[in-house]
Structure 1
Amino acid sequence: MEGGRCFASLVGAAFRAVLTFPRRSMITGEWSTPDTSNVNIPAVKPAFRERRAGLSNLRATWLGHACYLVEFPSGLRVLFDPVFEDRCAPVQWLGPKRYTPPPCSLSDLPPVDAVVISHSHYDHLSHTSVRELARRNPGAHFFVGLGLERWFRDSGIDNVTEMDWWQDADLVLTRRQDAHVQDPDPDKTDPETISARITCLPCQHASGRSHRDQNHTLWASWAVRSGGKSVWFGGDTGYRRVPKLPAGVDDYGPEYDSLPRCPQFAQIGALRGPFDLGLIPIGAYKPRWMWSWMHANPYDAVEIFKETRCKRAMGIHWGTWALTIEDVEEPPKLLKQALAASGIPETGVFDVCAIGEAREF
């Protein structure tokens, strides 16, 4: 947990601000609740490929918010931050409610080999979802940050490894083809070995599921390498520390170049990069003075993309729950502006997609 302590005082101050800001804003009119009544975020029913080795591309399917299912050329399937509930909250009658439904149910997913959890916040870790995944995939291995192993074991999930920043774990699987695959060639039903390296890496965030366990467990980004391809999963992270500025002021203007930036993304790129695909958060960022330390906006996301040395990227952490006050359809629009400002093509490098859509890399 040593890596997480450097943000402890900042986290405490921001947590107090989060508790007091809504009340004050309702009185002053400063808070504007996003309108989710006519959201136009496309969704499609996902299609997953049969497991087989020898493929050349990654296949990544967005399942909403930060949840992605990534299928590697080796045949490995990794599920990141699965939350399939209607509300990301301790109970299902209170808290942020989905304005876009999941594109499928947990029962529609193909067999999963590994589940990676970035941290303990409710929009990234669901008790119901992980228990159902473990029931349906008894061989799946769960990878979590320091301090979370006990929570999983208390939830009846023993196939779990907790890790600190910069630690590596090797995953080796020997299994037959998925039972539903019909293949008359007996050679293709022999056991095959799938290997992967899972790496726990830093990010700038926080953790906690109640006021009693704030920052008791580690938050992390993750890297997964298998079959000659690599993915960096940003999970949930901030990048800078932006003070309260007048409305309309660009905090990436030259006068704000000296604002603090988290140095660890450049370290990730130098020590573990490059990556074939980055899954990078782009949403839940307004007001900036409150959220910049723990949530990246699209301009931050582009800087993170460059520093981690990702060849391609997809935007995550948007399009599902209204967690902050920006318009829910704003992140992709702002991402195009941020890419243009960095001289990066607006499409084909760092993209967004429909919920349920798969892209190959």
Structure 2
Amino acid sequence: MSSAGGVGAASATLYAVVSNPTAVGAKPKDADEKAHHLKGGKGFINPWDSFRDFVGWQMGLRMLWRKFSGQVRQPDTTPPTVPVVTPTFREGREGGKLRATWLGHACYYVEFPSGLRVLFDPVFEDCCAPIKIKSLKRFTPVPCEIEDLPTVDLVVISHNHYDHLSYPTIKRIQKAFPQVHFFAPLGNRSWFVNSGVPEANVTELDWWDTRDVKLQSRFQDSPKEVDTVSVSKSETSTQSDITALVGALPCQHVSARGPFDKCKTLWASWSVESGGAKVYFAGDTGYRAVPGNTPEGEDGYGPEYAHLPVCPAFKQIGEHRGPFDLGLIPIGAYEPRWVMSPMHANPEDSANIFIETKCKKALGMHWGTWVLTEEDVLEPPRKLKEALKQKGIAEEGVFGVTDIGESKEFESGA
């Protein structure tokens, strides 16, 4: 396993210079209407018929009834469950094929052919909550520590839920890699700044916004000097040939870190393009809302549900920003469907997202780490295979899963 790249003596530290794109990316005609913005800057919504919100107390009462009536299912996490292997990473800025390593739940470490290194939705803590809760303890361990990563140039965050954004993890990343630059959806910059991240090292974007990124180098003699590096176009430095285009894209979800800040910050999926490779990170998303009277165990894909509207964002993403060499798409945390369907994709939803976003290959995520919902912990990849087969995608390796800590390589470009 490679050693951390942020603390080496007399090493060349690459840091991100973020600027407006040289060309405006393609987007739907109605994108500039900002239908997902509440008036007066009060927050954000999912502006589609495919989403259904819940009144908190109503959902709470129904969940209590399920618990007292014995309907709640508790998944078995007795080992063995998902295999965990020790990951290996490329040394330094070694190029090669596009390479993705699953580090558990929604966290992927992606090595681009250009040498760019991106970490998506990292959470390395044992519990994905603001306090220690036994039921939210990992049932699979992290395959490595942050300090084992060779380097991290960009961290991309989909939204602020605790299983996707962790304060201790962000502090550890910043300590190990002081030059790192964070990308997050609108409204999240203040959280990073209040957490001690320099404001210049945070970029927040709205849906369909993009930014150019160039990595520039400066030789550092000690970790202390690394801490003085800032992200500024005015700095005199040697520009490397590592560039990227980072874009925020829509998805169907919500945000909150407490009881009083629901949907005050935006959620997003993301695209990152560098070195001829293009990656779509779906973050955390639903696809359509299954009715509240859906019987337990039904996935909402029978003929009687064919009329349900689906989120139009994924077809728009495929049309305007696709195709993608690799999609990182959630496949878990979906039962019971009447609760989770507006916000979390089940495997058939995931297959549709894969097709509509025009991903050539994909890997599953958002499963196998914490018990967040009621499906069996090993069910998502099994259901994914079934869903893909139903859609005529039976070829091995088109859209699959990996062991935690395992890496997969992918062809990129035309």
Map of 1:231 onto structure 2 = 279
Which amino acid is the alignment partner of residue 331 of structure 2? I
Q: Does 1:151 align with 2:194?
A: no
Which amino acid is the alignment partner of residue 213 of structure 1? D
Q: Give yes or no for contact 1:58–1:70 (8 Å, CA) kept in 2.
A: yes
Q: Give yes or no for contact 2:87–2:405 (8 Å, CA) kept in 1.
A: yes
Give, in angstroms, the shift of residue 288 of structure 1.
0.6
After superposition, the Cα gap between the structure-2 partners of 1:272 and 1:339, relative to the gap in structure 1 and judged at 3 Å, is: same
Q: Give yes or no for contact 2:330–2:350 (8 Å, CA) kept in 1.
A: yes
Give, in angstroms, the shift of residue 29 of structure 1.
0.7
Map of 1:187 onto structure 2 = none
Map of 1:292 onto structure 2 = 341
Counterpart-to-counterpart distance in 2, 1:62 and 1:15: 33
Q: Give yes or no for contact 1:111–1:178 (8 Å, CA) kept in 2.
A: no
Higher deviation after alignment, 269-278 or 4-13: 4-13
* 1:150-299 matched pairs, under 5 angstroms: 150-158=190-198, 159-175=201-217, 192-243=240-291, 244-249=293-298, 251-299=300-348
Q: Helix, strand or coil: the match of 2:361?
A: strand
Q: Give yes or no for contact 2:331–2:384 (8 Å, CA) kept in 1.
A: yes
Give, in angstroms, the shift of residue 311 of structure 1.
0.2
Give, in angstroms, the shift of residue 90 of structure 1.
0.3
Give, in angstroms, the shift of residue 107 of structure 1.
1.1
Q: Give yes or no for contact 1:17–1:290 (8 Å, CA) kept in 2.
A: no
Q: Helix, strand or coil: the match of 2:66?
A: helix
Map of 2:125 onto structure 1 = 85
Map of 1:182 onto structure 2 = none
Give, in angstroms, the shift of residue 257 of structure 1.
1.4
After superposition, the Cα gap between the structure-2 partners of 1:252 and 1:44, relative to the gap in structure 1 and judged at 3 Å, is: same
**Pick aligned residue for 2:138 from 90, 98, 111:** 98
Q: Give yes or no for contact 1:88–1:95 (8 Å, CA) kept in 2.
A: no
Which amino acid is the alignment partner of residue 171 of structure 1? V
Higher deviation after alignment, 254-263 or 168-177: 168-177
Q: Give yes or no for contact 1:39–1:329 (8 Å, CA) kept in 2.
A: no
Map of 1:71 onto structure 2 = 111
Map of 1:120 onto structure 2 = 160
Map of 1:25 onto structure 2 = 66
Q: Helix, strand or coil: the match of 2:215?
A: strand
Higher deviation after alignment, 108-117 or 94-103: 94-103
**Pick aligned residue for 1:38 from 70, 76, 79:** 79
After superposition, the Cα gap between the structure-2 partners of 1:93 and 1:31, relative to the gap in structure 1 and judged at 3 Å, is: closer
Which amino acid is the alignment partner of residue 215 of structure 1? C
Map of 1:62 onto structure 2 = 102
After superposition, the Cα gap between the structure-2 partners of 1:289 and 1:281, relative to the gap in structure 1 and judged at 3 Å, is: same
Counterpart-to-counterpart distance in 2, 1:130 and 1:148: 13
Q: Does 1:325 align with 2:374?
A: yes
After superposition, the Cα gap between the structure-2 partners of 1:22 and 1:256, relative to the gap in structure 1 and judged at 3 Å, is: closer
After superposition, the Cα gap between the structure-2 partners of 1:98 and 1:17, relative to the gap in structure 1 and judged at 3 Å, is: farther
Q: Give yes or no for contact 1:118–1:222 (8 Å, CA) kept in 2.
A: yes
Which amino acid is the alignment partner of residue 257 of structure 2? R
Counterpart-to-counterpart distance in 1, 2:46 and 2:103: 33
Counterpart-to-counterpart distance in 2, 1:352 and 1:317: 11
Give, in angstroms, the shift of residue 191 of structure 1.
6.8
Q: Helix, strand or coil: the match of 1:251?
A: coil
Map of 2:235 onto structure 1 = none
Map of 1:110 onto structure 2 = 150
After superposition, the Cα gap between the structure-2 partners of 1:16 and 1:293, relative to the gap in structure 1 and judged at 3 Å, is: farther
**Pick aligned residue for 1:315 from 347, 364, 374:** 364
Q: Give yes or no for contact 2:85–2:403 (8 Å, CA) kept in 1.
A: yes
Q: Give yes or no for contact 2:362–2:399 (8 Å, CA) kept in 1.
A: yes
Give, in angstroms, the shift of residue 178 of structure 1.
11
Give, in angstroms, the shift of residue 21 of structure 1.
3.8
TM-score, normalising length: structure 1 = 0.92
Counterpart-to-counterpart distance in 1, 2:255 and 2:179: 27
Map of 1:345 onto structure 2 = 394
Q: Helix, strand or coil: the match of 1:147?
A: coil
Report percent identity of matched pairs: 55
Give, in angstroms, the shift of residue 247 of structure 1.
4.0
Q: Map Cα deviations across residues 89-144 of structure 1 (whole Å, 9 max, x no partner).
A: 00135551100000011111111000000000000000000111011111110000
Give, in angstroms, the shift of residue 255 of structure 1.
2.7
What are structure 1's unaligned runs of at least 5 residues? 180-189
Give, in angstroms, the shift of residue 252 of structure 1.
1.6
Counterpart-to-counterpart distance in 1, 2:301 and 2:133: 39
Counterpart-to-counterpart distance in 1, 2:219 and 2:80: 40
Map of 1:48 onto structure 2 = 89
Counterpart-to-counterpart distance in 1, 2:58 and 2:178: 42
- Alignment length, in residue pairs? 350
Give, in angstroms, the shift of residue 230 of structure 1.
0.5
